[in-house]
Chain A
């Protein structure tokens, strides 16, 4: 299956601040998330990374610019169809009341479709990708650790076979070996399924480990973007240089 790239053209987002004045969250953001590659978005807290994911998933609309999936403007697509093609896993994925199995079947229940059986081979594959086994299925999802819940959230997205997968801080509750396994898994997933992947992270170790391309966002603007080695070894701007030297301490592999 040929998966189209996700192209962001001149994305702008303006919100009204607490003081009632307009606040520019994103400014002239242009980037391409190609299929079969992992694009990692880095930047300080509050620079607009999560907002960008929400816009690409149409949980909110941009104030300006457009997003193309292949050649189609996503504003013209049915948002429900779009969200089935472009999946987003938030930093703290919400666990619905019930077991892990029920949580994994929830997307199908919400779409009023018959959920696939756990004996389906795609289940073993999706669970293995995120380091989970079938033994987790009867456990209450709410009783899992945050790291386990993140993995259930990721497996839940994978079971829906999206074309574009967006992950928000996927390692914020993982230790380094788990983060390493996750990096290998999503690289395998991206290559095998030729997925377009966009990962937001504060964790520079994970970013360098997993990314094909890196985009550095600061105060809502793209400051630098390019291939991983170039971004990490040869930053062209003072802002990126400083960010790489003093990365934020929030989250990241333990």
Chain B
């Protein structure tokens, strides 16, 4: 097969690209939308962050040790926790512990399984594989778990009468809150299920597009995409499952009562 020549965008190409952002800033100013400053600063942040990550990845790829890769993954996990904290508006007590455990075992477990058994890169910590794959699984798992926790808490609030009636009738807290848990789990899986269903028809998924642009054979890119899609769904499902099950334990006492300090009586 012929070696594909990769087009490396130069400074001028990037300047043309940034021109599109300036066009949007201009439109925002003209239309009086008032978000031009936010847009401008966000675009600058994006450039600085991505450039820094690019240099960092180059450095890490050159090091023959798992330590920098592990540190990067930990850092990404910490940022994911921070983002979840900002996104979930009503937090249960011990929210960060719940989110941390869910991400560690849900997303972490799937990433390890995927990298060791599916990709089988050598060495096992190969940052070229581990970092981008983990980041995709982590990003989606973080979104799924945030959705699941938020939805579970709102379902418990809305279904308070139903839950307490079930408790009065002798149901355990696990049985009484099952409908809320099912709804939350379903909500967590909707975005990934939708993107799986639309893959290839509505959009070409990001990773596959990136690989094709960098010269990879489309069929190899497709195989990677199928594998990562499966890993993302598993990561989202496992992280959300762990998060809502831990939330359930916090929302109820050991005596099958809704925590009245968290769900105050009207």
Contacts and interface: CB of A to CB of B under 8 A. Distances in A.
A60 interface: yes
B260 interface: yes
A62 to B, nearest CB: 12
A243 B169 CA distance: 34
Interface string A56-77: 0111110000000000000000
Contact of A80 (B161, B162, B172, B261): B172
Interface in B144-196: 161-162, 164-172, 175-176
B165 A94 contact: yes
A47 B170 CA distance: 27
23 contacts: A57-B168, A59-B164, A59-B167, A59-B168, A59-B257, A59-B258, A60-B257, A79-B256, A80-B170, A80-B171, A80-B172, A80-B256, A83-B168, A90-B165, A93-B165, A94-B162, A106-B169, A110-B170, A111-B169, A111-B170, A111-B171, A157-B169, A160-B170
A40 B172 CA distance: 29
A28 to B, nearest CB: 21
Interface string B241-266: 00000000000000111101100110
A59 B167 CA distance: 8
Contacts of B256: 79-80
B192 to A, nearest CB: 28
B250 to A, nearest CB: 17
A156 B169 contact: yes
A110 B166 contact: yes
A15 B168 CA distance: 22
A88 interface: yes
Nearest to A166: B168
A96 interface: yes
B169 A83 contact: yes
A80 B176 CA distance: 12
A79 B169 contact: no
A61 B167 contact: no
Given A83-B167, A83-B168, 13 more contacts: A59-B164, A59-B167, A59-B168, A59-B258, A79-B257, A83-B169, A87-B168, A93-B165, A94-B165, A96-B165, A106-B169, A110-B169, A160-B169
Given A80-B256, A83-B167, A110 B176 contact: yes
Nearest to B178: A110
Given A15-B260, A60-B260, A110-B175, A79 B168 contact: no
A88 B167 CA distance: 10
A192 interface: no
Contact of B257 (A61, A112, A156): A61
Contacts of B258: 59
Kindly list the 10 A-B residue pairs having the minimum CB-CB distance in the complex, ordered from nearest: A110-B171, A94-B165, A107-B169, A84-B170, A94-B161, A79-B255, A111-B170, A83-B170, A79-B256, A94-B162
B164 to A, nearest CB: 6
B68 to A, nearest CB: 47
Contact of B170 (A51, A94, A96, A107): A107
B171 A88 contact: no
Nearest to A96: B162
A61 B259 CA distance: 10
A90 B169 contact: no
A172 to B, nearest CB: 15
Interface in A144-159: 156-157
A61 B257 CA distance: 9
Interface string A80-92: 1001100110101
A58 B161 contact: no
A16 interface: yes
Nearest to B159: A94
Interface string A1-20: 00000000000000110000
